[in-house]
């Protein structure tokens, strides 16, 4: 496989019902498991939100300013699915943020699409109103369809990420054999190491157990119960 859409399609053919992303938040007690099919449905909804609702186009940059969370893996997929470039740039074309980073992006919300995730269980909306021009993912994403076909899909040579100005293409991320293991990680997915890990697992037929707010003892217990290797630490 050479691009994210091709890689995801192959993963759906190979194991549509198997777990792809399992998320634990030990502070809230949340456990969320996404099969490959469920993950693909969420990616489709987020893709529609970014492109159809907010007008982003292939080649635009997006900052996914989220901690270790299953929605970060979804928006990574949506960005790659639509040819957006995931970046750490301070002036991206669009932003996806969470409660802890909302304040730093709210002032620029009128200049670029700014989407906020409550990070509450099941991806629900914020309990309180958001600042002007900030869009609540927990409201807007549910109206998007479960299938999305990009009209201008990324090519193998298109950049998938740009970290500190260094671009990595779809072919570089998805063109290798990938990892076939089930791996436990505490690394935020929307980071260089986290994005590479997710891409490698998707390409290789592996799966991710993403954990936050856990002690070392709890990480070891989760690795055993989930039959996962690791942890890979942030």
Distance (Å, rounded) from C-alpha 191 to C-alpha 108?
22
Tokens at residue 180, please? 């076939």
Kindly tell me if the per-residue pLDDT of 61 is higher than 70: yes
Provide the edge-to-edge strand list for the sheet that holds 207-212.
30-35, 19-25, 207-212, 182-185, 229-232
Which residue has 């007690």 as its token pair?
29
Residue 229: the pLDDT is 95
Domain 4-232, CATH: 3.40.50.12780
Q: What are the residues whose beta carbons fall under 8 Å from the beta carbon of 60, sequence distance 6 or more?
A: 84, 85, 93, 94
pLDDT band at 1 (very low <50, low <70, confident <90, very high): low
- Give the percent of the chain with pLDDT over 70: 100
Domain boundaries in the chain? Answer: 4-232
Which tens digit of pLDDT belongs to each residue from 155-173?
999 999 999 999 999 999 9
pLDDT band at 233 (very low <50, low <70, confident <90, very high): confident
Terminal-to-terminal C-alpha distance of the chain:
28
Residue 225: the pLDDT is 97
Which tens digit of pLDDT belongs to each residue from 12-29?
999 999 999 999 999 999
Kindly tell me if the per-residue pLDDT of 32 is higher than 70: yes
Distance (Å, rounded) from C-alpha 139 to C-alpha 133?
14
Kindly tell me if the per-residue pLDDT of 175 is higher than 90: yes
Distance (Å, rounded) from C-alpha 96 to C-alpha 114?
6
Average pLDDT on 218-223 reads: 97
> Are the CB atoms for 12 and 43 separated by under 8 Å?
no
């Amino acid at each position: 496989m050479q691009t994210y859409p091709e890689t995801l399609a192959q993963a759906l053919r190979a194991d549509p019902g198997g777990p792809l992303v399992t998320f634990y938040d030990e502070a809230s007690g949340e456990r969320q498991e996404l099969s490959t099919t469920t993950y693909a449905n969420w990616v489709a909804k987020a893709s529609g939100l970014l492109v159809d609702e907010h007008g982003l186009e292939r080649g635009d940059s997006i900052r996914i300013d989220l901690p270790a969370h299953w929605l970060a893996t979804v928006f990574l997929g949506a960005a790659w699915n639509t040819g957006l470039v995931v970046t750490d740039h301070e002036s991206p074309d669009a932003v996806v943020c969470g409660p802890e980073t909302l304040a730093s992006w709210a002032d620029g919300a009128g200049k670029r699409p700014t989407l906020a995730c409550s990070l509450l269980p099941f991806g629900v909306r914020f309990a309180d109103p958001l600042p002007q021009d900030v869009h609540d993912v927990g409201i807007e994403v549910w109206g998007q369809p479960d299938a999305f076909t990009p009209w201008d899909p990324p090519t193998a040579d298109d950049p998938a990420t740009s970290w500190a100005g260094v671009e990595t293409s779809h072919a570089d991320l998805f063109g290798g054999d990938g990892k076939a293991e089930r791996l436990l990680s505490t690394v935020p997915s929307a980071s260089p190491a986290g994005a590479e890990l997710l891409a490698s697992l998707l390409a290789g037929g592996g799966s991710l157990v993403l954990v936050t707010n856990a002690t070392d003892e709890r990480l070891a217990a989760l690795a055993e119960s989930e039959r996962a290797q690791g942890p890979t630490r942030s």
